[in-house]
């Protein structure tokens, strides 16, 4: 028998749950050098099935952590969507083809599909290289938040007490541990123990749409099997999601009679099985045939619930993220994306507060930004699920008008679905007053991708690759055309102003500018007409920091960035948050407004 | 003391020397599953300095082995070249800027610079994952080739006996080993022991150009320090090669008095040192200042020899590759590229012969193809070194005409320098008779990069990524527009012909087509107008094998491939060699000519 209670320890952040939300959080914090632990009750990571769709914005986020290469190498890419509708002869026919992603600013104009275990492995390997492992199987048995206001307000205090039980402990060793954490992140799924422990309600309702999901390696004469297909047939609806290798995920609409136990009114997996699911799908595919080459890889069935947690945080000390905060249909390909973007939003804020840079109130913006997103997600999901499901298999959209409406909805929701439209509203970290100076860099949205050229060596760079998720604020100075003498004077004066001890750079970094801020400059000048040494030294701490808005030596990429961003020719300063979102914009003359921005959440030395 | 002689062993291929040529060879053979060993006399791999320039074609070759990602991640990219010439005020000024690579078909329009040790590490890590390690320090002490004609002609016989001495052997263990190898590759450098053992002469001569090379982390006000610079000053010539991180390689022309021992007439490193070298460079940079931030990382000096070995092979059993075959100036950025492309050319041929697929005579094409290249390289080097060096520091090209000539030569030689123009002449593996059917896919040159779109899922693919260096011949069937009934009939008939037991696919693969051949098809049809299932099954053994000549869903890439390649609208078959070079082209009706192609080096079942 394990020995009861002995161990007691401190940690800055304890993450409960090692799914996509927990792992994104743990990796981001480990990368930031934060003292973090992550536990999970499962003895092993997910092996198959589960979530599998990675949206374009999430690929950008992976890239910001240096993890996109592997994702792109291992995953399948979905570029083409095909809509199938009933044909006159009783079968189905393709009525429309569209790009899966309908957003011109997409850096990655496709979705990646890859099973959840492979995505988790990307984080796990990255964390291993940073010296962090998931501790498993470990379950939390109690959680307690300090009632002392002074403790709660001081982020250096270990305000949360969590008791953990290690399930896999050798004979004679203690299996219980008391952890005192400064912060706890509950990324423990739809049935979140953390959420329930604090009595946080899930608001919303259950639908009566019942769906099954099935991963197979298909044998079929349906030639669109490698496209994202939405099949509306007179025999039911079906979604085709091609995946890594030859795997295909099918989402299959079920009738109540297929899936619900008439006694209890609940979904009953015993009534269903992979073969029966495939049998239902087969009816939608008619006249095409489909079967599975090997055993079914994974399957499930579910009723869609559409709910959002009433709070995402308890006193900015305990947070919930991912499925713990929001549940919805998996068929919009949103779940994993929403979850990982929750903790991407939270992680840098935790790091800033733990380092003493930012006030603990910064953490309020997590719920503010992500709960709004979750509500939008449920609104999207209601529309999307409704269009996909109809009321029953016999009342599906079949006529031209309804089909047209469906295609339009698919296209119109692309900005939301892809995550590229995520828009955080004004808050301590989003100040919108000078939007007009960079009219197309929407404050609160992600920094738009674009290729600029390095002044020193004319190498083209995607600007997003120069904005890594390294917890620093990026100060991008668009210098205008610094060949113009009066403009160069303005830029020189700006640099001098920025260098003042009382200017925001020094004020909010205690003089160690590079630890908090990464400064880039982008000139409107063309290749060969500007030397990087012409620019004030503050704006190019290294030769690699000076860029130009011009094409590369081959004319293959770059150019037109000022116009695309709507940058004022007199230049502008763009503040990009550590998570890649535009936090504010200001003309050279309004440095005090930038100072006010940082003062609204950061401490002055 | 180690115990003398006991060990005796067999191996298919023994590689002597673990520089770039040897490692490329070992990695390629290991990937092909060949029984291979590689030895090196140095106890450790190169740590700094040495060769550092990777040309665009070599990047493509790395990509064909799955190794380009890391090369691109770790290396510096040179995009911009700048020419400096004497200015009126006695200093230097930039007179011209050009792209470093001047070849529109370049997939990677830049050079990568990275120190040789980092490049070797890419191979070493790949080899480790394949279970192969360099054995070191080990020196060969004797090599002997069988005199028996019957043995020499039978590639299954171990015709070469090599005695090795292991230098780092524990007390009491044998330090001498007799290795019986089927083939030996001498990749043992400019002073090749293998070459000397067989008395192979180096033909050519020494120049009287003396240069120094220096790796520094510069502190400078010279704003082109991150461009490839050719500096011609009244105080000497200098080449600037920016490298990984902040390192810069300088090549510095020396006067005889700087470098040559008056007594012996030989280059004397004792007369020179890194500080003096930098002092000489400084004169060329005037009026710009340059110094080194840290200690000099690496330096050397040399007189350029321009020589090619009279033979590259002894009885197609012992080969030499890399610097063992050719020595020339390092300043064209060729050395490592020529070396690695030597063994890239050799490796698949060795694998084919060892598997019994091809006749041993195939190996004659190694010398035929690579010695011709080496001679072209020396011709290029003579021109280039002459232009760079002049006779002495005071007779440099200074006036407009000579400068113009220099810039033109820089541009005109780009096709050669980049490796993109490598052109293998007609031989057993290069049959040119049907060139007109694909007028721009030059037979004997590399397969031109281009983006095509997959029929099944509209995902854009660079065709080169579908032609990995996996020892298989790629059979690319350009089907024409198979929506046209008569053309589809032609394609269907072609597939039926190809499936015949006597057709080349079955004849030269003993019925196991996929082991020897990888078949792709590329249709001229547009997205949505063709199903992959419309094409004959032989031409799309997997859904991923059917491509279209069309743009991706976003109109960002692809389209116009038939025109770019000059493909006849009636379709054509293109045979791409395992090393990525076009081996032959044939219309559908001339399958017998393709059979003749393979019969000229392969065995029939």
State pLDDT tens for residues B256-292. Answer: 777 777 777 677 777 788 999 999 999 999 999 999 8
Same domain, A226 and A318: no
Tokens (6 digits) for B531: 């199903």
| 3-class secondary-structure state, position B81 | strand
What is the DSSP code (8-state) at residue B602?
B
CB contact under 8 Å between B225 and A459, yes or no, is: no
Q: Is B600 exposed, middle or buried (0-12, 13-18, 19+ CB in 10 A)?
A: middle
- Are both B339 and B229 inside the same structural domain? no
pLDDT of residue A604: 87
**Mapping DSSP to helix (H, G, I), strand (E, B) and coil, where does residue A230 land?**
strand
Summarize pLDDT for A326-378 with one digit per residue, the tens: 988 877 778 899 999 999 999 999 999 999 999 999 999 999 999 999 999 99
Query: A289 in contact with B at a CB cutoff of 8 Å?
Result: no
Q: What is the dihedral of CA B31, B34, B35, B36, to 10 degrees?
A: -60
B457 touches A: beta carbon within 8 Å: yes
What are φ and ψ of residue B189, in 5° steps?
80, 180
Cis, bond preceding A563 (omega within 30 deg of 0): no
* Residue appearing with tokens 């062993």: B9
Which CATH number characterizes residue B148's domain? 3.50.50.60
**Would you say residue B224 has pLDDT above 90?**
yes
Q: What is the mean pLDDT of residues A155-178?
A: 92
Output the CA torsion B242→B246→B247→B251 (10° steps). 40
Instruction: Specify the residue for token string 């019925």.
Output: B511
Q: How many CA atoms lie within 13 A of B267 on its CB side?
A: 18
If you measure CA to CA, which chain A residue comes closest to B222?
A: A533
Determine the average pLDDT of the residues in A383-391: 70
- Strands (DSSP E) contained in A169-217 are 176-186, 202-216
At residue B392, the pLDDT reads 33
Distance from CA of B109 to the nearest CA of A (A): 7
Q: Is residue A140 part of a domain?
A: yes
Of B109, B227, B533, the CB nearest to A221: B533
Nearest to B430 by CA among B342, B362, B344: B362
Give the H or E element holding residue B282: helix B274-285
Identify the DSSP state of A448: P
Q: Per-residue pLDDT tens for B572-597?
A: 999 999 999 999 999 999 999 999 99
Chain B closest-CA separation from residue A460 CA (Å): 9
Contacts of residue B439, defined as CB under 8 A and 6 or more positions apart, other chains included, come to B566
With cut-offs at 50, 70 and 90, classify the pLDDT of residue B5: low
Interface test with A, best of B56, B75, B80 (most A CBs within 10 A): B80
Which of B77, B105, B457 should one mutate to test binding to chain A, selecting the residue with the greatest count of A CBs within 10 A?
B457
| B363 belongs to a structural domain | yes
The pTM for the full model equals 0.94
Nearest chain A residue to B534 by CA distance is A223
**Contact (CB<8Å) A79/B459:** yes
pLDDT of B217 above 90: yes
pLDDT for the residue numbered B244: 94
Mean pLDDT of A465-476: 98
The pLDDT score that the predictor gives to residue B331 is 74
| Among candidate residues B513, B514, B507, the one with its CA nearest the CA of residue B602 | B507
First to last CA, chain B: 53
The HSE-up count of residue A288 (CA atoms within 13 Å, CB side) is 22
B540 is known as an active-site residue? no
Q: What is the mean pLDDT of residues B111-132?
A: 96
pLDDT > 90 in chain A, percent: 77
Substitution target in B75, B293, B459 with the highest count of A β-carbons within 10 Å is B459
CB contact under 8 A, B533 and A223: yes
Residues of A in contact with B227 (CB under 8 A): 456-458
Check residues A304 and B505 and name the one with the higher pLDDT.
Answer: B505
Q: Which one of B56, B63, B79, B113 makes the best mutation probe of the A interface by having the most chain A beta carbons within 10 Å?
A: B79
Cα–Cα distance, A414 to A416 (Å, whole number): 5
B245 lies in the same domain as B368: no
Q: Is B307 a catalytic residue?
A: no
Contact A343/B at CB under 8 A: no
Interfacial B residues in 494-533 facing A (CB < 8 Å): 527-528, 531-533
Catalytic residue among B251, B424, B565, B581: B251
When divided into structural domains, chain B yields a total of 3
Radius of gyration from C-alpha coordinates of chain B: 26
Both tokens assigned to B96:
């011209």
Residues A190 and A212 in one domain: no
Q: Tell me the C-alpha to C-alpha distance, in Å, between residue B288 and each of B86, B113, B283, B294.
A: 13, 24, 9, 19
Beta strands (DSSP E) in B228-283 are 228-233, 236-242, 248-254
Residue A427 lies in a domain: no
| Helix B335-354 / helix B56-64 crossing angle, nearest 10 deg | 30
Compute the average pLDDT of residues B411-419. 88
B225 touches chain A (CB under 8 A): yes
Q: How confident is the model at residue A27 (pLDDT cuts 50, 70, 90)?
A: very high
Q: Are residues B215 and B194 in the same domain?
A: no
The model's pLDDT over A91-121, given as tens digits with 9 standing for 90+, comes to 999 999 999 999 999 999 999 999 999 999 9
Are residue B578 and residue B444 in the same domain, yes or no?
yes
Active site residue B243: yes
Where residue B382 falls among pLDDT bands split at 50, 70, 90? confident
- Out of B52, B224, B342, B552, the active site residue is B52
The tokens for A225 are 């099997």
A80 in a domain, yes or no? no
Residue in A80, A527, A552 nearest the CB of B457? A80
Q: What percent of chain B has pLDDT over 90?
A: 77
Among A203-212, A481-490, B231-240, the least confident range: A203-212
Residues B193 and B205: their CA atoms lie apart, in Å, by: 20
Structure tokens, B496:
């039926």
Q: Does one domain contain both A35 and A117?
A: yes
CB contact under 8 A, B80 and A533: no
In a domain, B99, yes or no: no
Asked if B459 and A533 come within 8 Å (Cβ–Cβ), the reply is no
Q: Are strands A228-233 and A236-242 parallel, antiparallel or unpaired?
A: antiparallel
The single-letter DSSP state of residue B426 is: S
Candidate list A52, A224, A342, A359, residue with the active-site label: A52
**Residues A159 and A279 reside in one and the same domain:** no
Asked if the Cβ–Cβ distance from A457 to B80 is below 8 Å, we say yes
Residues B42 and B185 in one domain: yes
Strand ranges across the sheet with B76-78 = B53-54, B111-113, B76-78
- For residue B391, name the pLDDT band (cuts at 50, 70, 90): very low
CATH of residue B578's domain is: 3.40.30.20
Q: Which of A233-237, A472-476, B432-436 has the lowest mean pLDDT?
A: A233-237
Q: Is B77 close to A226, i.e. CB distance below 8 A?
A: no
Cβ contact A533–B223 (<8 Å): yes
d(CA B583, CA B573): 11
Q: Alpha-carbon distance A481 to A478, whole Å?
A: 9
Contact B327, B381 (CB under 8 A): no
**Residue keyed to tokens 């780092």:** B168
pLDDT at A393: 35
- B309: burial class by Cβ within 10 Å (0-12, 13-18, 19+)? buried
Query: What is the C-alpha to C-alpha distance for residues A7 and A179, in angstroms, rounded to an integer?
Result: 9
DSSP helix/strand/coil, B388: helix
Asked whether residue A236 is assigned to any structural domain, the reply reads yes
Mutate to test the interface with A, among B104, B108, B223 (most CBs of A within 10 A): B223
Distance in angstroms (rounded) separating the CA atoms of residues A68 and A123 = 11
Distance CA B586, CA B593 (A): 7
pLDDT at A556: 92
Structural domain of B439: 435-600
CB < 8 Å to A532, chain B = 223
Strand partners, A584: A575
* A460 pLDDT higher than 70: yes
Contact of A136 with A41, CB cutoff 8 Å: yes
CB within 8 Å: A79 and B553? yes
Q: Which of A234-243, A352-361, B352-361 has the lowest mean pLDDT?
A: A234-243
- Which one is catalytic: B20, B86, B330, B449? B330
What is the nearest CA distance from B346 to chain A, expressed in angstroms?
29
State yes or no: pLDDT of B399 exceeds 70: no
* Phi, psi torsion values for B309, nearest 5 degrees: -65, 145
Pick the closest to residue A334 from A358, A304, A293 (CA basis): A304
- The average pLDDT across B330-341 equals 88
| A77: contact with B, CB 8 A cutoff | yes
**Same domain flag for B230 and B152:** no
d(CA A18, CA A41): 9
User: Cα–Cα distance between B389 and B396 in angstroms, integer?
Assistant: 7
Facing residue for A458 by CB, picked from B79, B528, B556:
B79
CA distance A522 to A572: 10
Model confidence at A267, pLDDT cuts 50, 70, 90, reads confident
Q: Which two tokens stand for residue B86?
A: 């004497």
Q: How confident is the model at residue A1 (pLDDT cuts 50, 70, 90)?
A: low
Chain A neighbors of B101, CB-CB under 8 A:
554
B227 at interface of A, judged by CB pairs closer than 8 A: yes
Distance CA A178, CA A162 (A): 6
Residue A103 lies inside a defined structural domain of this protein: no
Contacts of B537 in chain A (CB under 8 A): none
Instruction: State chain A's mean pLDDT as an integer.
Output: 92
B52 is catalytic: yes
Strand partners, B202: B309
Q: Is residue A479 part of a domain?
A: yes
Question: Do B127 and B21 share a structural domain?
Answer: yes
Distance CA B358, CA B155 (A): 10
Q: Does B100 touch chain A (CB under 8 A)?
A: yes
A438-452, B130-144, B252-266: segment of lowest average pLDDT: B252-266
- Residue A4: what pLDDT? 60
Predicted pLDDT at B6: 67
The lowest-confidence range among A71-80, A413-422, B9-18, B354-363 is A413-422
SS3 assignment, position B16: strand
Which residue in the block uniquely carries the two structure tokens 């040192």? B273
Partner residues linked to A220 by β-bridges: A290
On the question of pLDDT at A399 being above 70, the answer is no
pLDDT at A381: 86
Q: What is the mean pLDDT of chain B?
A: 92
Q: Does B456 touch chain A (CB under 8 A)?
A: yes
Q: Is A543 close to B242, i.e. CB distance below 8 A?
A: no
Query: What CATH number has the domain bearing residue A401?
Result: 3.30.9.10
A239 and A350 housed in the same domain: no
Q: How many Å lie between the alpha carbon of B544 and the closest alpha carbon of chain A? A: 9
């Amino acid at each position: 028998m394990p020995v009861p209670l002995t161990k007691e320890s401190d940690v800055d952040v304890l993450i409960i749950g090692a799914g996509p939300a927990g792992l994104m959080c743990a990796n981001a914090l480990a990368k930031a050098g934060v003292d973090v632990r992550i536990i999970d009750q499962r003895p092993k990571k997910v092996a198959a099935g589960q979530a599998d769709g990675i949206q374009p914005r999430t690929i950008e986020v992976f890239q910001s952590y240096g993890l996109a290469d592997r994702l792109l190498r291992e995953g399948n890419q979905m570029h083409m969507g095909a809509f199938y509708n009933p044909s006159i002869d009783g079968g189905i026919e393709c009525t429309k083809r569209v790009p899966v992603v309908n957003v011109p600013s997409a850096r990655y104009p496709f979705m990646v599909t890859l099973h959840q275990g492979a995505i988790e492995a990307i984080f796990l390997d990255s964390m291993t290289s940073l010296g962090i492992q998931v501790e498993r199987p470990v379950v939390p048995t109690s959680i307690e938040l300090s009632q002392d206001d002074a403790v709660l307000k001081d982020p250096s205090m270990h305000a949360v007490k969590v008791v953990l039980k290690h399930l896999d402990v050798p004979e004679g060793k203690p299996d219980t541990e008391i952890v005192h954490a400064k912060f706890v992140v509950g990324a423990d799924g739809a049935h979140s123990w953390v959420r329930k422990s604090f009595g946080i309600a899930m608001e919303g309702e259950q639908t009566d749409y019942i769906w099954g999901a099935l991963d197979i390696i298909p044998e079929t004469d349906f030639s669109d099997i490698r496209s994202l297909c939405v099949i509306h047939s007179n025999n039911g609806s079906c979604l085709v999601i091609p995946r890594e290798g030859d795997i295909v995920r099918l989402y299959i609409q079920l009738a109540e009679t297929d899936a619900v136990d008439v006694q209890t009114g609940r979904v009953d997996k015993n009534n269903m099985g992979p073969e029966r699911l495939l049998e239902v799908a087969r009816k939608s595919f008619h006249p095409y045939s489909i079967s599975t080459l090997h055993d079914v890889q994974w399957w499930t069935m579910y009723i869609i619930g559409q709910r959002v947690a009433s709070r995402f945080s308890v006193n900015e000390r305990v947070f919930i993220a991912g499925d713990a905060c929001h549940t919805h249909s998996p068929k919009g390909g949103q779940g994993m994306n929403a979850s990982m973007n929750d903790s991407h939003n939270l992680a840098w804020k935790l790091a800033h507060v733990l380092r003493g840079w930012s006030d603990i109130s910064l953490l309020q913006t997590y719920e503010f930004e992500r709960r709004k997103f979750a509500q939008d997600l449920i609104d999207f999901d209601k529309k999307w699920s409704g269009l996909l499901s109809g009321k029953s298999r016999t009342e599906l959209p079949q006529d031209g008008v309804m089909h047209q409406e469906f295609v339009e909805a698919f296209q119109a929701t692309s900005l939301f679905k892809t995550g590229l439209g995520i828009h955080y509203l004004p808050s301590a970290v989003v100040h919108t007053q000078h939007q007009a100076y960079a009219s197309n860099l929407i404050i609160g949205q992600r920094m738009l991708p674009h290729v600029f050229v390095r002044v020193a060596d004319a190498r083209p760079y995607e600007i997003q690759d120069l904005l890594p998720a390294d917890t620093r604020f990026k100060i991008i100075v668009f210098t205008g055309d610094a060949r113009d003498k009066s403009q160069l004077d303005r830029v020189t004066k700006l640099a001098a102003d920025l260098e003042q001890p009382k200017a925001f750079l020094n004020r909010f970094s205690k003089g160690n500018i590079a630890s908090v801020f990464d400064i880039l400059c982008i000139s409107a000048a063309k290749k060969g007409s500007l030397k990087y040494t012409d620019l004030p030294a503050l704006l190019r701490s290294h030769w690699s920091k000076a860029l130009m808005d011009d094409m590369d030596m081959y004319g293959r990429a770059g150019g037109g960035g000022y116009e695309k961003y709507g940058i004022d020719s007199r230049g502008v300063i763009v503040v990009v948050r550590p998570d890649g979102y535009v936090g504010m914009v200001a003309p050279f003359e309004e440095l005090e407004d930038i100072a006010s921005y940082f003062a609204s959440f950061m401490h002055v030395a």
